[in-house]
A and B are shown apart, each in its own frame.
Chain A
Amino acid sequence: MVSALLGSSAFLFLFLTIVVLVIFSYPSFIVNGLGFFTSITWNPSLSGSVVTVNGIRSMSGASFGMLVFFSGTLLSSGLALLIGVPLSLGIAIFLSEVAPQRISNIMSFFVELLAGIPSIVFGFWGFLVLGPFLIHSVEPVMAKYLYFIPYFGGKVYSYGLPASGLILALMTVPIIASISRDAMAQTPIELREAGRALGLTDWEVTRKIVLPSARTAIAGSIVLGLGRALGETMAVVMVSESAVNILPKTFYYPINSIAAFMAQTLDSAFTDPTKMEIYALVELAVVLLLITTTVNVIARLLVRRGFITSAEHVVQV
């Protein structure tokens, strides 16, 4: 009986999260309305005067729009998948099909270790090593030779989008690679043998038999990786260069993500006497919760067999 009660705390925690976020974002929903989703300006307007609209106090001239952070979240996560998915599939193929068992075990350990590295340490490394490398050696070369592709020309400004995307790609790799590897390793031996008997080479067995039979789990793992990238906070804080009130015009602009902006801004929001900036930040939290929840539900539907989830991929005893 006690254990049933404790098991239900999963509901309790989720319920608590939703209720609290809804209550504290309600004033922002009322005051900012649709402009919250379409405006690129985030300005608490602390020098303005306090006005009361519909019984809710806010600063005159204040504007809270999420578009910069929303677009930054999508762009950085999209770039992360663009880089991370082929990388992860290559690793999964290496671990499950190419490498001998001993080497595969050792490499698996390191890939899973990557999942355990604190995201702030990832970000610190990005800030010290990856960002400077990109801005000095990679971005200028790209701007010089790829200028004819839209958004790839122009001035090199910052670590910004490329560094965020790369760091996020590295963080999604362990999730996608380890789930895909397990799914590929579960391909029935009969199917592989049938392929070999028909004269397929190693790669053709992988390409035509193993990958198709694991494709739902692979799709699910990609969506889970996307969930991780969308919600990632501290690594993006360290390398995105925290854009505010400006949308990226080229590949090399600074960006910001919803999670990163939330982490950086709450303490300065305390100075808003009407608390409207806090409410608006909580509305950002609601948006982020909706995004990550949707993504996780999709992942769950995709990975039906064995219901691998982000909680479970951590442990394969």
Chain B
Amino acid sequence: MDHSNVRSPEGAGDNASPTLSVTVPAWKQPGVISNHRRRVMKGRIVEVLAVLCILAVLLPLGDMIYMFAYRGLQVISIPKLTTITVGSASFVSGGLANAIAGTALLISLAAAITIPIGVLGGVYMSEFSNDSRLSEGLRFAADIMAGNSSIVLGYVGYLVFVLYFGWGYSAAAGALTLSILMFPYVFRTTELALRKVPASIREAAIALGSTKTTMINRLVLRFALPGILTGIILAVGIGLSETAPLLYTALFSNYLPSGALFHEPIGYLTYVVYVYSQLPSNGAHDLAYLSSFLLISAVLVINVVARVGLRKLSKV
């Protein structure tokens, strides 16, 4: 539209009089209003589309949670959780105790390896690294590892730990592979959490005569703790959900882990979903449903704790 009839800058006195005589402002003219309405309508349509997009994603998520909760709760019982799996192929019965215990052992071992390495590595990146090219390189390496396909990592675990080190299919091979998978998440989130600690806190500590080590141990780590914990918990969630890195390192076992770390295959929950869902027996399907339900519940708890609980803590 023509702007000249709205106002005429500085030259109000001279030949601009015909345009000034228009009393209806431009944005109130009939054509302009319908144009405006069309533009607002366009926005409404986009809003509706945006709502449809989120529904299109929440519907599958809701269906997934509902279906596995429904089927899982149909099957769940104390014996299913406390007895080991019996049989294989078309005759599977018993419970998931071996897989639950195996998952717990694998995750604890992997976390015990990866937390010290990841957290201390993150402390180095945030507090000690003066060489920006080195730290940039380390960040890059961690990002490539995080973007790596988990089955590729599973192959590396198989070739190195199972074959080359001769550990066989074992808890050690599985847990080490998982710890490599979890490492970049702990490493990067620790660095981020530490960098968010305000400079004023560090300066106050130094001004009071504290050494750098004391400052990090007493103050910086304490302030960054919720962030670091969030990273650890989510890394545990990632380790818990993985199947591919364990297929050829931990294999699977129907028996409870004896505590031997080498040369003894070990069970885990995701394998039950993968293999038992394809077996031709109701007993196997029941275990696959129950295992899916347990995994989803664990992920839900982890997400609530990490995102809701710890976020509150970090604001105190």
Contacts and interface: CB of A to CB of B under 8 A. Distances in A.
Interface of A: 2-4, 6-11, 13-14, 16-17, 20-21, 24, 86-91, 93-95, 97-98, 107, 109-114, 116-125, 127-130, 170, 173, 199, 201-204, 206, 224, 227-228, 230-234, 237-238, 259, 262-263, 266-267, 281-282, 285, 288-289, 292-293, 295-297, 299-300, 307, 309-312, 314-315, 317
A203 B187 contact: no
A18 B160 CA distance: 12
29 contacts: A3-B124, A4-B129, A8-B138, A10-B138, A20-B156, A21-B156, A94-B50, A95-B54, A98-B47, A98-B51, A111-B54, A120-B270, A121-B241, A125-B60, A173-B57, A203-B39, A203-B43, A228-B147, A231-B148, A233-B149, A233-B243, A266-B158, A282-B155, A288-B149, A311-B187, A311-B188, A314-B189, A317-B227, A317-B314
Contacts of B128: 3-4
Interface in B16-52: 27, 36, 39-40, 42-43, 46-47, 49-52
B277 to A, nearest CB: 5
A117 B241 contact: yes
Interface string B137-165: 11111111111111111111011100000
B207 interface: no
Nearest to B228: A317
Interface stretch (B7-15, B104-112, B293-301): B293-301
Contacts of A310: 143, 146-147
Given A2-B120, A311-B185, A114 B57 contact: yes
B124 A317 contact: no
B78 interface: no
Contacts of B238: 116, 314
A201 B43 contact: yes
Interface stretch (B61-69, B81-89, B94-102, B256-264): B61-69
A227 B189 contact: no
A10 B288 CA distance: 35
A177 to B, nearest CB: 8
B149 to A, nearest CB: 3
Nearest to A86: B53
Contacts of B43: 201-204
B315 to A, nearest CB: 10
Contacts of A121: 64, 68, 241, 273, 292, 295-296
A230 B306 CA distance: 28
Nearest to A204: B39
Given A90-B52, A285-B155, A317-B311, A118 B299 contact: yes
Given A7-B121, A114-B57, A170-B60, A234 B274 contact: yes
Interface of B: 27, 36, 39-40, 42-43, 46-47, 49-54, 56-58, 60-61, 63-64, 67-68, 116-117, 120-125, 127-129, 135, 137-156, 158-160, 180, 183-185, 187-189, 192-193, 196, 226-227, 230-231, 234, 237-238, 240-244, 247-248, 270, 273-274, 277, 288, 292, 295-296, 299-300, 302-303, 306-308, 310-311, 314
Contacts of B47: 94, 98, 202-203
A113 B299 contact: yes
A317 B39 contact: no
A307 B274 CA distance: 35
Contact of B156 (A16, A111, A116): A16
A117 B125 contact: no
A311 B50 contact: no
B160 A20 contact: yes
Contacts of B56: 87
Contact of A288 (B67, B142, B152): B152
Given A129-B67, A203-B43, A262 B155 contact: yes
A127 B171 CA distance: 30
A236 to B, nearest CB: 10
Nearest to A107: B54
A288 to B, nearest CB: 5
Contacts of B61: 110, 113-114, 117
Contacts of A120: 241, 243, 270, 273-274
A124 B58 contact: no
Contacts of A90: 49-50, 52-54
Given A93-B50, A317-B226, A285 B152 contact: yes
Contacts of B42: 201, 203
Nearest to A113: B303
Contacts of B299: 113, 116-118
Contacts of A8: 121, 138
Given A20-B160, A231-B147, A3 B120 contact: yes
B300 A9 contact: no
Given A288-B151, A309-B146, 20 more contacts: A7-B129, A7-B187, A16-B160, A90-B49, A107-B54, A113-B299, A113-B300, A119-B241, A120-B274, A121-B68, A122-B64, A124-B288, A125-B63, A201-B39, A227-B147, A234-B270, A259-B244, A309-B147, A311-B187, A317-B311
